């Protein structure tokens, strides 16, 4: 269980919410983790359970049918989900896609989608990455060509979180091919739209319980009113959401790192070798001491970043630095903790194996570590 006594980012309401999160996860997630991993997807029943408990999109305003809570509540859920060892796509909906709908959506779009996103009846995805375009949005080749009052979308996307479950997808497409990244728009495509098709649920190194998919668009015809935000302003809208997206990944990184550390402490204190516990060897104690120091620094910095974001002061560079440091630290943590497990760490029956696998992509999605360094360097 995550230790929260010395945290500074949260108040009593956040911690009461944490107890709800733990209870719901304990009933609807923890007993089924192996099933989710084996099936490659978290069932809609789990989404519904979270929705009923007020755990989906808690930041949506009361005016739009939500609880009107601050982003700290999202962070509580993200920490607990990562500590649990699940890669369910709840945080994508809570921390990323819902902001696009509430901030940019028309009254009709908000009324159509937000209630279901809050209840768990509507699952969302955002489709940016393509087979030939990742961090560089200028390389996007999916097009949305105007045809009267409609747009006709053609192209393909890959590595899309919630791709199998999604009821609606925010598609990043070129509406002005001559304008590079600045000619992109965000377009809503419902999953039952003719011409839209899901590809395979991708076979990944880790995060097996996250449905990550290919998506295909063949003459998908949608009304121009499906544009989310301004036409040809997709790139700007995406950039506006990056600080929160990258902070969200940093939050998850800390939760996963802490769980790996706790598993290593437990294992080394129980496992014996040469007549004493593995923990009693100086190498084990010194390794764990070094990792404990990094966790202490990490949690303090994360609380600082969360507090900055809640005040609307976290910059893109600061969020990128947080994503860079916390995900790199997470990888160092899980790898060292797996090593402390010895051969047992290589066995999937031990939680550390899943934590290790799931951590690897953290340094890639949401902007690679290399891209984060580039972004941070711009503010130096």
Neighbours of 133 (CB within 10 A): 17
Q: Measured between alpha carbons, how far is 304 from 250 in angstroms, rounded to an integer?
A: 12
At 208 the pLDDT is: 97
Q: Which domains does the chain have, with CATH numbers?
A: 12-122 (1.10.540.10), 125-232 (2.40.110.10), 236-377 (1.20.140.10)
Q: Is there a catalytic annotation at residue 245?
A: yes
Neighbours of 304 (CB within 10 A): 15
pLDDT for 190-225, tens place per residue?
999 999 999 999 999 999 999 999 999 999 999 999
* Listed residue (306, 230, 267, 253) closest to 75, CA to CA: 306
At 135 the pLDDT is: 67
One digit per residue, the tens of pLDDT, for the chain of length 380 reads: 888 888 999 999 999 999 999 999 999 999 999 999 999 999 999 999 999 999 999 999 999 999 999 999 999 999 999 999 999 999 999 999 999 999 999 999 999 999 999 999 999 999 999 988 776 777 899 999 999 999 999 999 999 999 999 999 999 999 998 888 789 999 999 999 999 999 999 999 999 999 999 999 999 999 999 999 999 999 999 999 989 999 999 999 999 999 999 999 999 999 999 999 999 999 999 999 999 999 999 999 999 999 999 999 999 999 999 999 999 999 999 999 999 999 999 999 999 999 999 999 999 999 999 999 999 999 99
Whether the CA torsion 55, 58, 60, 62 is positive or negative: it is positive
Q: Measured between alpha carbons, how far is 158 from 129 in angstroms, rounded to an integer?
A: 6
**Helices and strands (DSSP H and E) totals, the chain:** 12, 10
At 5 the pLDDT is: 82
Secondary structure of 316-358 as H, E, C letters: HHHHHHHHHHHHHHHHHHHHHHHHHCHHHHHCCCCHHHHHHHH
Q: Measured between alpha carbons, how far is 322 from 331 in angstroms, rounded to an integer?
A: 14
pTM beyond 0.85: yes
Neighbours of 225 (CB within 10 A): 12
Residues 6+ apart with CB under 8 A from 251: 75, 78, 79, 82, 302, 306
> What DSSP assignment string belongs to 192-239?
TSTTEEEEEE---SS-TTS-EEEEEEEEEEEEGGGEESSTT-HHHHHH
Dihedral angle over CA of 30, 254, 13, 55, nearest 10: -40
37, 79, 130, 245: the active-site residue:
245
* Listed residue (363, 356, 330, 133) closest to 246, CA to CA: 363
Neighbours of 108 (CB within 10 A): 9
Q: Measured between alpha carbons, how far is 265 from 276 in angstroms, rounded to an integer?
A: 15
Assigned token pair, 154: 């053609």
Give the pairing type, strands 168-174 and 124-127. parallel
Q: Measured between alpha carbons, how far is 330 from 299 in angstroms, rounded to an integer?
A: 12
Residues 6+ apart with CB under 8 A from 226: 151, 187, 188, 189
**Contact between residue 146 and residue 74 where contact means Cβ atoms under 8 Å apart:** no
């Amino acid at each position: 269980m995550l230790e929260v006594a010395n945290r500074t980012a949260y108040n009593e309401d956040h911690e009461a919410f944490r107890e709800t999160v733990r209870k719901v996860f304990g009933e609807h997630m923890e007993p089924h983790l192996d099933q989710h991993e084996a099936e490659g997807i978290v069932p809609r029943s789990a989404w519904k359970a979270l929705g009923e408990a007020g755990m989906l999109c808690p930041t949506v305003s009361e005016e739009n049918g939500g609880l009107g809570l601050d982003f700290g509540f999202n962070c509580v859920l993200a920490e607990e989900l990562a500590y649990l060892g699940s890669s369910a796509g709840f945080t994508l909906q809570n921390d990323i896609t819902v902001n696009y709908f509430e901030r940019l959506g028309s009254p009709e779009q908000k009324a159509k989608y937000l209630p279901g996103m809050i209840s768990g009846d509507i699952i969302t995805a955002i489709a940016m990455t393509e087979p030939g375009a990742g961090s560089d949005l200028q390389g996007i080749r999916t097009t949305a060509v105007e045809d009267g009052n409609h747009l006709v979308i053609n192209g393909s996307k890959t590595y899309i979180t919630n791709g199998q479950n999604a009821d609606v997808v925010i598609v990043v497409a070129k509406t002005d091919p001559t304008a590079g990244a600045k000619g992109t728009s965000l377009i809503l495509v419902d999953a039952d739209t003719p011409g839209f098709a899901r590809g395979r649920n991708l076979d990944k190194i880790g995060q097996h319980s996250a449905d990550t998919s290919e998506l295909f668009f063949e003459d998908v015809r949608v009304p121009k009113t499906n544009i989310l935000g301004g036409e040809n302003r997709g790139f700007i809208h995406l950039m506006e959401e990056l600080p929160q997206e990258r902070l969200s990944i940093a939050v998850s990184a800390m939760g996963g790192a802490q769980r790996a550390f706790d598993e290593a402490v437990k294992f080394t204190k129980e496992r014996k070798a040469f007549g004493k516990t593995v923990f009693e060897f100086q190498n084990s104690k010194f390794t764990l001491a070094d990792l404990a120091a990094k966790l202490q620094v990490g949690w303090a910095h994360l609380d600082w970043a969360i507090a900055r974001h809640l005040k609307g002061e976290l910059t893109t560079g600061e969020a990128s630095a947080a994503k860079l440091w916390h995900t790199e630290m997470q990888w160092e943590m899980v790898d060292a903790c797996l090593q402390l497990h010895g051969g047992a760490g290589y066995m999937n029956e031990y939680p550390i194996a899943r934590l290790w696998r799931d951590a690897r992509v953290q340094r890639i999605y949401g902007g690679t570590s290399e891209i984060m360094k580039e972004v941070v360097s711009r503010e130096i």
